[in-house]
DNA sequence: ATGAAAGCGCTAACAT
DNA sequence: ATGTTAGCGCTTTCAT
């Protein structure tokens, strides 16, 4: 934070300690061995002068910034907050700091991220696309050091950390069927989004599972939600309750919408799970604390975070591993809402 | 993300466009006027070569990084997620990206932030201290370009954005009294923290307000909570319900704990607000969606974010304004839980 | 174990 | 409107 022109340099520190910048650098980075006595003198000089390293200079020299970028749709969605938090923790182990970029799930912003316009000064990128999908491989150009989160959307040579969207959505849907529900709706469809997006995959698995159980889904049971926020869940549930023949169970494609749905139910005096069962997806911290506590899918968020950061670290280290696709485990967490 | 040694420089771009790096720089930063024709040629060359500016070099030269740091206790607390999101939005207007650093509310980490060890490559710092307080002014040394969030903890010459903790806590407590409650408890005390911390200020205001109403507070009605997380709220409420004479109203010092408290109530079949009223503090997005919806304090989070970023921008711009203390408006948001 | 010096890629002061 | 050049503060190769 030193102002330009008034900054203390390594040379200044060296001058005070009676050594050159070279030795100061060695002391501070700890790579080479330095005489303990010299070391002490240097550290004292650092302290006296209030020296702070200029990381731009270091980065320019080394080609490393010590920062990675996490590009996600939106911190209004609990899952992404949870993910960001976990990724920050994992990144700490690699001495990385994390810059979070919100794309708003908008295609133009996602392209901007990949083009580097909104992601400078960063050693690598962990990116959860939403609008981008197959056919957009051209935007990958120049992005080595990239890990894609979500489904394997690109054929190209990129690391993917893949959540078992299909399997998990089947699990959730089948659970509702097994509990005896027959009028099952879903909130979170988004027709304007790639077929590889979570929205499309979960919807497809939902439909398939119901079909497999010889259950039909009226069109009005598939509720579109553009943003997957609290209000989308509430609005979706309100719409379902307004139907002549409301569902007896609802699969919300994320927990945040499920919270909204639960609220809409309670506001109308409809009981969950007795009148309408609700199941979510994500198992975010809040899911345990709603009324009733939310039955949901645990998608392996901790693994996603760890794998993503480790994969990126391998890329940055330049290990010549071929692009990998990693899968995380999912499971059903039964609580009270369904 | 270009690897060292294989990176394309401005000179390369210039060579292809038939100009020097100087002109390329002018085109990309848009400061000086460039002939449209030249401009086009340069931009085409940028595209052809897949050129990406080296921001370390730029920062080294200009002394600006385009990044600010936001240091907060913890993203597990909804308020800080909400705040971070809003600050990111405000920062965008200044073309800043934001690095979030979690201090875990731990003193050593807060000192590390101020000392710059965990906050390099940044044009400024927005810092919500928790463990640090009066008497720790010495850690401010070398931190121009700093905005402190929370109460005015430092006498030193630093910008503060101050939330009206005392006034707001009075508002909340008085509301409970006015609604006829007499056995009022609080969750969120933290004796190990500075007297200027939110925990101490809110507790003090809580006590004062009850005293002013001639209401006594048994010691067991003041529940300590170290982390202010969901589980702290739930544990606190569980403890209160286990008392021989449980309270009929509880003031939770943040919304996140209030969510936990509401859960503890529901888990035991205790009704809110009928049996125990609950009031929170923060008015985070989720507060509107709990069952019952949470009555809480709106502390002016939007203002905090805007003021903090604007104040920091003024510091960075080097306007010689004297250190300012800015206050935000708070108000009571009545919903259903109290 | 330490010194001397080159150079990372960019911007800005000085030219023309 | 564009070319030339110095230099930001650091790391690292070549010395000793």
Mean pLDDT of A120-139: 90
Pairing assessment for the beta strands A249-252 and A184-189 based on DSSP bridges: parallel
Is the pTM value of this prediction over 0.75? yes
Q: Where are the alpha helices (DSSP H) in B179-300?
A: 198-212, 230-241, 255-267
> By three-state DSSP, how is residue A32 classified?
coil
**CB of B283 closer than 8 Å to CB of B276:** no
Confidence of residue A328 (pLDDT cuts 50, 70, 90): very high
Question: Which has the higher per-residue pLDDT, B286 or A135?
Answer: B286
Q: Beta carbon of A81 within 7 Å of strand C?
A: no
Phi–psi pair at A70, nearest 5 degrees: -115, 115
The alpha carbon of residue B18 is apart from the nearest alpha carbon of chain A, in Å, by: 24
Query: β-pairing, B296-298 with B331-333?
Result: antiparallel
- Which residues numbered 93-132 in B keep a CB inside 8 Å of some CB on A? 97-102, 116, 118, 120-125
Per-residue pLDDT of chain B (338 residues; tens, 9 = 90+): 333 346 889 999 998 999 998 899 989 887 777 888 888 899 999 998 989 999 999 999 999 999 999 999 999 999 999 999 999 999 999 999 999 999 999 999 999 999 887 777 899 999 999 888 888 988 988 888 999 998 777 777 899 999 999 999 999 999 999 999 999 999 999 988 878 889 999 999 999 999 999 999 999 999 999 999 999 999 999 999 999 999 999 999 999 999 999 999 999 999 999 999 999 999 999 999 999 999 999 999 999 999 999 999 999 887 778 899 999 999 999 999 99
Size of chain B, expressed as the number of residues it contains = 338
pLDDT of residue A6: 61
Ranges A213-227, A317-331, B117-131, most confident:
A213-227
Q: Where are the beta strands (DSSP E) in B73-197?
A: 97-102, 124-127, 146-149, 159-162, 184-189
Q: Return the pLDDT at B5.
A: 40
| Long-range contacts of residues B266-275, Cβ cutoff 8 Å, at least 24 apart | B266/A291, B266/A292, B266/B291, B268/B238, B268/B241, B270/B241, B272/B337, B272/B338, B273/B249, B273/B336, B273/B337, B273/B338, B275/B248
Taking the CA of residue A46 and the nearest CA in chain B, the distance in Å comes to 12
Q: Per-residue pLDDT averaged across A19-24, rounded?
A: 90
Q: What is the enclosing helix (H) or strand (E) of A88?
A: helix A78-93
Q: In the structure, what pLDDT confidence band is assigned to residue A4 with cuts at 50, 70 and 90?
A: very low
Q: pLDDT tens across A244-302, in order?
A: 999 999 999 999 999 999 999 999 999 999 999 999 999 999 999 999 999 999 999 99
Which of B277, B285, B310, B327 shows the shortest CA–CA distance to B165? B327
User: What is the spatial distance between Cα A320 and Cα B140, in angstroms, rounded to a whole number?
Assistant: 45
Nearest CA in chain B to A49: B142
| Residue in A266, A286, A288, A284 with CA at minimum distance from that of residue A275 | A266
Q: What is the pLDDT of residue A172?
A: 98
Q: Which of residues 223-262 of A touch B (CB under 8 A)?
A: 230, 234, 259-260, 262
Mind listing the pLDDT tens digit for each residue in B227-280?
999 999 999 999 999 999 999 999 999 999 999 999 999 999 999 999 999 999
Protein residues in reach of strand D (CB < 7 A): A 4, 7, 9-11, 21-22, 25-26, 28-29, 31, 53-54, 57-58, 60-62; B 14, 18-23, 26, 32-35, 37-38, 57, 60-61
The answer on pLDDT for A52 being more than 60 is yes
Contact B202, B253 (CB under 8 A): yes
Q: What is the pLDDT of residues A185-207, one digit of tens each?
A: 999 999 888 788 899 999 999 99
Phi-psi region of B324 (alpha: psi -120 to 50; beta: other; left: phi over 0): beta
Say what the pLDDT of residue B4 is: 36
Nearest nucleotide by C1' position to the A38 CA atom: C1
Q: What residues does B332 pair with on adjacent strands? A: B297
- Categorise residue A153: left if φ over 0, alpha if ψ from -120 to 50, beta otherwise: alpha
Closest residue on chain B to A146 (Cα) = B1
CB A264 within 8 A of CB A198: no
Integer Cα distance of A230 and A261 in angstroms? 8
| Closest listed residue to residue B336, CA positions, set B262, B268, B267 | B262
Given the structure tokens 């039909």, which residue do they identify? A216
């Amino acid at each position: 934070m030193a102002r330009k022109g008034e900054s203390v340099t390594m040379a200044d520190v060296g001058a005070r300690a009676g050594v050159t910048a070279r030795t100061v650098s060695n002391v501070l980075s700890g790579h080479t061995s330095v005489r303990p006595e010299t070391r002490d003198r240097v550290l004292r000089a650092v302290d006296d002068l209030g020296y702070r390293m200029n990381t731009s200079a270091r980065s320019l020299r080394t080609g490393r910034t010590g920062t990675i970028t996490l590009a996600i749709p939106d911190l209004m969605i609990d899952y992404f907050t949870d993910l960001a938090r976990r990724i920050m923790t994992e990144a700490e182990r690699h001495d990385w700091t994390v810059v979070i970029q919100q794309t708003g799930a908008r295609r133009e912003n996602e392209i901007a991220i990949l083009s580097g316009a909104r992601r400078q000064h960063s050693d690598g990128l962990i990116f959860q696309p939403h609008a981008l999908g197959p056919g957009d491989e051209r935007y990958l150009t120049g992005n080595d050091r990239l890990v894609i989160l979500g489904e394997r959307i690109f054929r190209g040579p990129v690391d993917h950390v893949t959540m078992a969207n299909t399997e998990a959505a089947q699990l959730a849907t089948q659970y509702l069927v097994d509990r005896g529900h027959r009028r099952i709706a879903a909130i979170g469809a988004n027709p304007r989004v790639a077929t590889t997006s979570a929205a499309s995959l979960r919807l497809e698995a939902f439909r398939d599972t119901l079909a497999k159980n010889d259950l039909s889904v009226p069109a009005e049971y598939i509720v579109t939600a553009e943003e997957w926020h609290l209000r989308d869940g509430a609005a979706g549930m309100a719409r379902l309750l307004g139907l002549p023949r409301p569902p007896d169970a609802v699969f919300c494609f994320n927990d945040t919408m499920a919270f909204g749905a639960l609220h809409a139910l309670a506001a109308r005096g409809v009981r969950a799970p007795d009148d309408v069962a609700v199941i979510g997806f994500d198992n975010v911290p809040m899911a345990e604390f709603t009324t009733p506590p939310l039955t949901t899918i645990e998608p392996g968020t901790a693994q996603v975070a760890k794998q993503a950061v480790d994969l990126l670290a391998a890329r940055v280290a330049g290990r010549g591993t071929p692009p990998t696709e990693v899968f995380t485990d999912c499971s059903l967490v039964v609580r009270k809402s369904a």
